[in-house]
Amino acid sequence: MILVLGGTSETHGLCRYLKDSNESYILTVATDYGEKQFKEFKENLCVKRLNKEDMINLIAMKNIRLIVDLTHPYAFEVSKNAIGAANETQTKYIRYERDESDTSSLDVQTTDTHEEAAEIAKSLGKRLFLSVGSNNADKYINYINDFEKIYLRILPKSNIIKKCEELGYENNCIIAMEGPFSKELNKEMLILAKADVMITKESGKAGGFTEKYEACKELNIPLIVVSRPKLDYPQKTNNMEDIKDLIRNIKR
C-alpha cells in the first residue's frame, strides 16, 4: 500500500492515477478543508494531523511500501515527520517539490522568516497586504501597531476568519477568498487596500506566485518573499512521472 501525504493540487492527479492503476493507497490530509478538497477520494481518505509516531503506526498497520509527500512547500513539520518515520521503518520516501520561482533575477526582497519580512515591510510603508496563509497570521499580529492597516487574505472558512479576528485583525481588513487569483484580481485587491507593500511566500507557479509578482510590479509596490524552508529530502523530484515510475517499480 502507498501512503500519499496530500495538500497540493498535484494530489488529485496522482490519486486518480493510483485509482486507475488499481493500486492500494491511503490519502491523508490535515483539515476538514482538505477533506472537502479531495472528497472524490473519500474511500481512501484519512483526515488527521499525523505526527511521526502516527505515521510509524500507520506504516506497520497498513504495510506501507512507499510514502509520497505532496504536502504544501511550507508544510515543513509534516515532511520532517514523514522522513523520520520512513527512516525508522526503512520505508521508501519520495517528495514532489514544485519548481521554485527564480527570485534572484526578480525585483523582490527575500527573507527566511516572517519576522524578518515584517521588519523590512515596516520601512516600506504603512499599509501592508499579506498573502501568507492563515497559519502564519499570528506571526504578524505583534506588528499591528507598526502599520496603519494590515490586510490579510485567507480562505473563506468561518473558523479561519474567527481565528484571525480573535488574533486581533480588523474585520474589514480580512479578505476571505479562495484562489487561484489572476494578475488583474491581485491588482484590484492591492489597489482597494491602498497597499504600500506586499508579503507572500515562494509558492511557485502553481501557487500563484507569478501573478502576485506581476501585479506588484505593474503597481510599483514592493514585494517581500518568504523563502521555502530548507529540508534535506532523501529523494525529491519535480516530475510526477518519476513518482509513477517508482510506483511501477515497487509493484513488480
Taking Cα atoms as reference points, which of 203, 192, 248, 193 lies closest to residue 226?
203
Taking Cα atoms as reference points, which of 148, 151, 197 lies closest to residue 174?
151
- Residue 123 to residue 57: CA distance in whole angstroms: 49
Domain 2-99+230-251 has CATH 3.40.50.720: yes
Cell of 168: 486581533
Mean pLDDT by 10 residues, the chain (252 residues): 92 94 93 83 91 95 95 87 96 87 73 95 96 92 94 93 95 92 96 97 80 95 91 91 91 62
- Residue 180 to residue 82: CA distance in whole angstroms: 28
Q: Quote the DSSP letter at residue 180.
A: -
Domain 2-99+230-251 identical in fold to domain 103-226: yes
Does the global pTM surpass 0.95? no
- Show me where the domains of the chain are located: 2-99+230-251, 103-226
Cell of 158: 468561518
Fold of 103-226: Rossmann fold (3.40.50)
